[in-house]
Amino acid sequence: MKRKIYLFCSAGMSTSLLASKMQKVADEHSLPIEVEAFPYLEIDKIVEERNPDCILLGPQVKYMYNEIKSKFEPKGLPVQVIDMSDYGTMNGEKVLKTAIKLIKASQASNA
């Protein structure tokens, strides 16, 4: 089953680059993962229609973290803000590892 890791930021532009780097790492390791980026204004629609396994927020929208966390984590959907230095260096591998750990921890607590 393919896991979906979705990144959200102001316009979805800078996170698109990070998402493609994360997808490249996932593909290189043959991981069944889909990584995509979207503008945060679409978060409700995207979550409802596409059922991601993890939500990562770009540092520029971290002010929305508490609101988004309280909305989606009770439904078993982990939410985290992307580390500023990993975001700044576009470290797709590190951000991907963080997302995978979040998904595993969420599954363990919901089991």
Q: What is the pLDDT of residue 12?
A: 65
Spacing of C-alpha 21 from chain mean position: 13
Instruction: Say if CB 47 and CB 77 are below 8 A apart.
Output: yes
What interhelical angle do 13-28 and 92-110 show, nearest 10? 80
Q: What is the pLDDT of residue 35?
A: 98
Q: What is the pLDDT of residue 89?
A: 96
> Does the domain made of 3-110 have the CATH classification 3.40.50.2300?
yes
Beta pairing class for 33-39 and 79-81: unpaired
Catalytic pick among 9, 26, 57, 81: 9
What does the alpha-carbon distance between residue 45 and residue 52 come to, in Å, rounded to a whole number? Answer: 11
Residues 36-55: tens digit of each pLDDT = 999 999 999 999 999 999 99
pTM of the model: 0.95
Q: What is the DSSP letter of 74?
A: G
Residues 79-99: tens digit of each pLDDT = 999 999 999 999 999 999 999
Domain ranges of the chain: 3-110
What does the alpha-carbon distance between residue 93 and residue 11 come to, in Å, rounded to a whole number? Answer: 22
User: 54 an active-site residue?
Assistant: no
Mean pLDDT computed over 59-85: 96
